[in-house]
Each structure stands twice: as C-alpha cells, then as structure tokens.
Amino acid sequence: MGEQNGTGFLTAEGADVSTAASIGDGSKIWHLAQVRENAVLGENCIIGRGAYVGTGVVMGDNCKVQNYALVYEPARLGDGVFIGPAVVLTNDTYPRAINADGTQKSAADWEAVGVTIGRGASVGARSVCVAPVEIGDWALVAAGSVVTRDVPAHGLVAGVPARRIGWVGTTGRKLEQRDGDRWVCPETGETYRQDGDVLVKEEETP
C-alpha cells in the first residue's frame, strides 16, 4: 500500500497528498490520487486511483470517492457518501478561461460555489453535479445523470437534466408505493410517508 503516515492513514506510492490536508485515521488514498491543501477527510475514507479532492473540501467519515472522480472545492460531503467513478462535482457557475477584455481569469475573477451532499447519499458513475446544488441524505443519483437542481433526502434522480423518478431507502433499494403517500422498502420493510416533495421515515411502533 505504500507509506503509512504517523497519523494513521495510508497513502499509495504516487499519491499526492498535501501536508496541509487533514486525513482521518484508517483512510486510504490510492495511486495517482491528489488531495489538496486544507482538505479535511474523516476516518476510514477511501480515495480511488486518480481521484482529485480540491482545496478545502470537507468530507465526513466512511466516504468512498471512486477512481478518477473530481471533487472540486468547496464541496461538502457528509458521513458515508459514495462518489462513483469519473463523477464530477463542479464549482463554477459561469465558467470562462478569460475575462470579457480577453485577459486570463485569475482566482480573484470568480467565486467558487460548491456541491453539498448529505449523509449516506450516492452519486453514480460519470454523473455531473453542477454547483451550487444540494443532494439530501440517502439520495441516489443514477449513473450518467446531470444534476442541476437540489435533490431531496431519499430522492432517486436520473437523466439529463436529472429529475426525480422515485424514492430510495437507506439500503439504496427503490421504494415501493403503498396506499398513496406511503412507501415501503422491499428489502427491510421500513416505511416512509410522502408529504409533497418530502419523504419522512415512519417510526416503528413497539
């Protein structure tokens, strides 16, 4: 696996990890991955081969960023977030290489905006999340989607642009509709109730 830093995380040979980044115990950073200055990764995170984690990105515990995904600052990822292979989290609403007068843009000529992803949410392979956008807890973005608007907690979205096509539970399985506004996980039996565009998990009765 390469060297183990004294703080308890592992970096593979060829990974580029800034000494100004904060990496939690048990995390693994694979070959050719880059973690920039002031990035904060929680415990037990996995950064895949060739992935990029930008300056100041904040990531919770147990996150997985798969091969060649690009997580640009100032993204914020909650605990247990899954970022699929070649996903892109953008940070520039109006991208340009030059200003109107033809001079090259510098950091002072634009304001970075980020993608925020809630606990347990997943973004499928080769999806693009166009900042600023927020993806709620346990939501699922289907592979190849382009997310241009906020995704509610437990929302299942797909397409270009991505639109909600259903709901998912904490296992990622698509929920089945029962009795109008009631939804059930076919795997766990957990039940949810829909209120407009919001899905709320029902508490179990003893």
Phi-psi region of 191 (alpha: psi -120 to 50; beta: other; left: phi over 0): beta
Q: Which residues of the chain have pLDDT under 70?
A: 1-7, 204-206
For position 49, what pLDDT does the model report?
98
Strand partners, 178: 182
Burial class (CB in 10 A: 0-12, 13-18, 19+), 79: middle
For residue 107, which phi and psi values (nearest 5 degrees)? Answer: -60, -30
For the chain, which domains are there? 3-94+111-170 (2.160.10.10)
Tokens coding 171: 């296992």
* Full-model pTM: 0.92
Token readout for 52 is: 């990029």
Question: In angstroms, what CA-CA distances link 200 with 15, 82, 157?
Answer: 41, 22, 17
Alpha helices (H) along 17-153? none
Round to whole Å and give the CA distance between 205 and 64.
34
Query: What number of other Cβ atoms are within 10 A of residue 94's Cβ?
Result: 6
Question: What value does the mean pLDDT of the chain take?
Answer: 94
The residues facing 184 across adjacent strands are 176, 191
pLDDT at 7: 56
pLDDT at 43: 97
